[in-house]
């Protein structure tokens, strides 16, 4: 009688007792074995996720059994369904199946989706090749493996998506944080979990904040809390290949200075959740906090601060400016090098002084031998934008630019068409090479030579893909010339976007500074009276606040 090895897998310990349990799988496998008249000689059990990478420890256990029982001839591994074997998709399924095939063992299932039947398309000619032999059930097997993966991804998306929504609503997902306990409460969304101070751990955390706010040194605070019996929460360590097995524990250790600082920095103890699922923003948690926001801020004075702004809670980090390197060309202040003080005539300063709540306020200012004056970076940016908006090219200059663009575009289009034609010819040559290589495969019998031809075809395909990408890029340049001219004209008519639209702040400042013969002051920009370069003045008109036009004479030319 044919001998088979029964294989049973569960995803976790709970499924092992409540869901598709090992006993249920064993009964189905045993029933199917009797039905097809095979003998189950032994069983392999494993508790591991079906999406586990690296071909899964499940296969490792089967291979280990085969190695330790070389005297028993196993023909097949019998599983209940393909999704009990893997949910990693068709690619992972084929790799796992091929690994069993190395030991001369096939795979069958209780649903009879998998069969060991093979068909030789050249059997009527009395010959057999690797490419002529196929498994009729392989397509159905891969489809079932892909369906299992899609089901897993769908379920995970739904579950994790719901957990993220509940987290952003302040509910607790997963184990409670240290110092808290999870309590199920009635809410508008149903019965959900909130966090409330733990009877023992909460007292320890509360004491950490009290000692910090009383200015007790950290080392002494750690000793005092440890004397009260502090121990970190005990956690079980599970075998990575079988989650049902507990191989040890971690935690249960006294408090350290580093761990105490981590607790004190955590906003959860002030009643706010801050993590990836909250987009790293403090969200009010459901439950009761261990300390107040004021107590948390006092404990983290000079380091962190929680405050409310426009109805949202925010956390800011105080950084020392003592060791901060000052930059001569600072991208935070792109116009610093291009503005003069209207009182002393020297280059302005720029900095970000902190307000009462610790928030920084970027500004430009000066007080060299005179009273302090300053303007916020936001207001200065608006003044510069409004000034640039009032600069317009003359109509005859725009017409001249359009003519130049059309000439250059026609030249570029001719070059592009020529290059695109060459690339098309190269693609055609590669197609011919691929066709020739494929014809050779049909007449070859040596596996090594066939492998070489397949590698050549792959190289040809890669080269062809690169050429097609180059060709497409060239052909994309062949846009409607009217669209291009209109686009360029738009930027010529809206100089403020060309001058100030650069994503690099320093280049944006340099573009602005290139307008002037003499660097302007803030009052010059506001009044619209800075001294512009002579070459530029001959090509533009300036619009004042009343929309009156002041013409500046000059002949158009190439720029």
Residues 96 and 220 in one domain: no
Any domain includes 330 = no
Cβ burial of 238 (10 Å; 0-12, 13-18, 19+) is middle
The answer to whether 542 and 391 are in contact (CB under 8 A) is: yes
Q: What is the mean pLDDT of residues 352-378?
A: 85
Residues 77 and 123 in one domain: yes
Residues 205 and 109 in one domain: no
Residues 234 and 116 in one domain: no
Residues 136 and 225 in one domain: no
Task: State the Cα–Cα distance between residues 50 and 9, nearest whole angstrom.
Answer: 8
Q: What is the mean pLDDT of residues 151-168?
A: 91
On average, the pLDDT of the chain sits at 82
Strands (DSSP E) contained in 11-161 are 39-47, 76-79, 106-109, 119-120, 133-134
Kind of pairing between the strands at 76-79 and 3-10: parallel
> Who has greater pLDDT, 229 or 443?
229
Any domain includes 415 = yes
Is it the case that residue 95 has pLDDT exceeding 60?
yes
CATH code, domain with 263: 3.90.1750.20
Residues 289-302: tens digit of each pLDDT: 999 999 999 998 87
Q: What is the mean pLDDT of residues 358-373?
A: 88
Task: State the Cα–Cα distance between residues 422 and 531, nearest whole angstrom.
Answer: 52
Share of the chain above pLDDT 90, in %: 34
Backbone torsion region of residue 345, taken as left when φ is above 0, otherwise alpha when ψ lies between -120 and 50, otherwise beta? left
The answer to whether 135 and 118 are in contact (CB under 8 A) is: yes
Length of the chain in terms of residues written = 559
> Who has greater pLDDT, 443 or 45?
45
Which of the residue ranges 8-17, 130-139, 349-358 has the most confident prediction, judged by mean pLDDT? 130-139
Q: What is the mean pLDDT of residues 162-177?
A: 93
H or E segment to which residue 297 belongs: helix 293-299
> Who has greater pLDDT, 93 or 551?
93
End-to-end Cα, the chain, rounded Å: 91
Residues 145 and 212 in one domain: no
User: What are the tokens at 177?
Assistant: 């944080």
Domain count, the chain: 3
Least confident of 343-347, 420-424, 518-522: 420-424
Is it the case that residue 36 has pLDDT exceeding 80?
yes
Any domain includes 267 = yes
Out of 317, 340, 364, pick the residue that ends a domain.
Answer: 317
CATH code, domain with 143: 3.40.50.1390
Any domain includes 537 = no
Residues 197 and 254 in one domain: yes
Residues 103 and 208 in one domain: no
Any domain includes 338 = no
User: What are the tokens at 462?
Assistant: 């890669």
Out of 292, 317, 342, pick the residue that ends a domain.
Answer: 317
> Who has greater pLDDT, 496 or 284?
284
The pLDDT of residue 540 is 65
The pLDDT of residue 15 is 52
> Who has greater pLDDT, 334 or 302?
334
The pLDDT of residue 312 is 84
Task: State the Cα–Cα distance between residues 372 and 44, nearest whole angstrom.
Answer: 82
Q: Is residue 555 very low, low, confident or very high in pLDDT (cuts 50, 70, 90)?
A: very low
Least confident of 77-86, 250-259, 443-452: 443-452
Backbone torsion region of residue 547, taken as left when φ is above 0, otherwise alpha when ψ lies between -120 and 50, otherwise beta? left
> Who has greater pLDDT, 226 or 427?
226
The pLDDT of residue 356 is 63
Any domain includes 407 = yes
Full residue range of the structural domain in which residue 226 is found: 180-317
Quickly count: other Cβ atoms within 10 Å of residue 119's Cβ.
10
Residues 202 and 301 in one domain: yes
Share of the chain above pLDDT 70, in %: 84
| Close Cβ partners of 519 (under 8 Å, ≥ 6 residues apart) | 338, 339, 340, 513
pTM of the complete model: 0.52
Is it the case that residue 273 has pLDDT exceeding 80?
yes
The pLDDT of residue 464 is 82
Is it the case that residue 285 has pLDDT exceeding 90?
yes
Is it the case that residue 77 has pLDDT exceeding 80?
yes
Is it the case that residue 284 has pLDDT exceeding 70?
yes
Is it the case that residue 481 has pLDDT exceeding 60?
no
Task: State the Cα–Cα distance between residues 413 and 481, nearest whole angstrom.
Answer: 10
Any domain includes 157 = no
Residues 194 and 107 in one domain: no
- Which of 198, 199, 201 lies closest to 252 in space, CA to CA? 201
Any domain includes 401 = yes
Dump the DSSP string for 390-405.
Answer: TEEE-HHHHHHHHHHH
Quickly count: other Cβ atoms within 10 Å of residue 393's Cβ.
20
Cβ burial of 117 (10 Å; 0-12, 13-18, 19+) is exposed
Out of 290, 317, 344, pick the residue that ends a domain.
Answer: 317
Kind of pairing between the strands at 106-109 and 133-134: unpaired
Residues 289 and 199 in one domain: yes
Residues 80 and 119 in one domain: yes
> Who has greater pLDDT, 74 or 526?
74
């Amino acid at each position: 009688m044919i001998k088979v090895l029964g294989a049973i897998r569960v995803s976790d310990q709970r499924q092992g007792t409540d869901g598709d349990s090992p006993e249920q799988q064993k009964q189905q496998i045993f029933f199917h074995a009797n039905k097809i008249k095979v003998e189950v000689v032994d069983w392999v059990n494993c508790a591991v996720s079906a999406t586990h990478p690296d071909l899964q420890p499940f296969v490792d256990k089967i291979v280990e059994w085969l190695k330790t029982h070389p005297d028993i001839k196993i023909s097949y591994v019998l599983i209940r369904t393909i999704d009990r074997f893997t949910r990693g998709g068709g690619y992972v399924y084929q790799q796992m199946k091929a690994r069993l095939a190395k030991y001369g063992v096939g795979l069958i299932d209780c649903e009879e989706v998998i069969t060991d039947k093979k068909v030789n398309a050249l059997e009527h000619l009395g010959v057999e090749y690797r490419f002529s032999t196929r498994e009729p059930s392989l397509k159905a097997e891969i489809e079932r493996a892909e369906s299992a993966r899609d089901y897993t991804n769908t379920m995970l998306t739904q579950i994790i998506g719901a957990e993220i929504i509940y987290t952003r609503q302040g509910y607790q997902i997963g184990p409670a944080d240290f110092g808290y306990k999870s309590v199920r409460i009635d809410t508008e969304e149903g019965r959900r979990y909130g966090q409330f101070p733990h009877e023992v751990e909460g007292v320890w955390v509360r004491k950490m904040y009290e000692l910090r706010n009383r200015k007790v040194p950290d080392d002494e605070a750690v000793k005092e809390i440890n004397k009260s019996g502090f121990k970190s929460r005990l956690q079980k360590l599970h075998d990575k290949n079988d989650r049902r097995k507990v191989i040890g524990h971690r935690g249960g250790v006294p408090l350290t200075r580093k761990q105490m600082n981590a607790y004190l920095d955590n906003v959860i103890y002030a009643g706010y959740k801050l993590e990836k699922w909250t987009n790293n923003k403090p969200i009010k948690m459901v439950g009761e906090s261990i300390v107040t926001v004021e107590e948390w801020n006092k404990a983290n004075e000079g380091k962190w601060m929680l405050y409310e702004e426009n109805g949202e809670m925010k956390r800011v980090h105080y950084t020392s400016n003592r060791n901060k390197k000052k930059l001569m060309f600072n991208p935070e202040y792109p116009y610093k090098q291009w503005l003069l003080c209207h009182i002393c005539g020297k280059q302005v300063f720029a900095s970000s002084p902190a307000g009462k709540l610790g928030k920084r306020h970027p500004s430009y200012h000066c007080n060299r031998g005179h009273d302090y004056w300053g303007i916020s970076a936001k207001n200065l940016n608006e003044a510069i934008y409004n000034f640039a908006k009032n600069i317009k090219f003359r109509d005859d200059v725009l017409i001249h630019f359009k003519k130049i663009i059309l000439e250059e575009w026609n030249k570029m289009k001719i070059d592009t068409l020529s290059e695109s034609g060459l690339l098309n010819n190269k693609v055609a040559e590669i197609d011919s090479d691929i066709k020739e290589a494929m014809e050779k495969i049909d007449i070859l019998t040596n596996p090594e030579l066939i492998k070489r031809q397949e590698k050549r075809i792959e190289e040809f395909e890669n080269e062809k893909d690169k050429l097609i990408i180059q060709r497409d890029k060239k052909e994309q340049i062949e846009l409607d010339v009217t669209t291009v001219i209109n686009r360029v004209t738009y930027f010529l008519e809206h100089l403020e976007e060309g001058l100030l639209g650069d994503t690099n702040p320093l280049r944006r400042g340099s573009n602005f500074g290139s307008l002037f013969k003499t660097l302007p002051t803030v009052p010059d920009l506001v009044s619209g009276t800075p001294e512009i370069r002579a070459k530029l003045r001959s090509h533009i008109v300036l619009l004042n606040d009343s929309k009156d036009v002041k013409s500046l004479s000059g002949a158009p030319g190439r720029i």
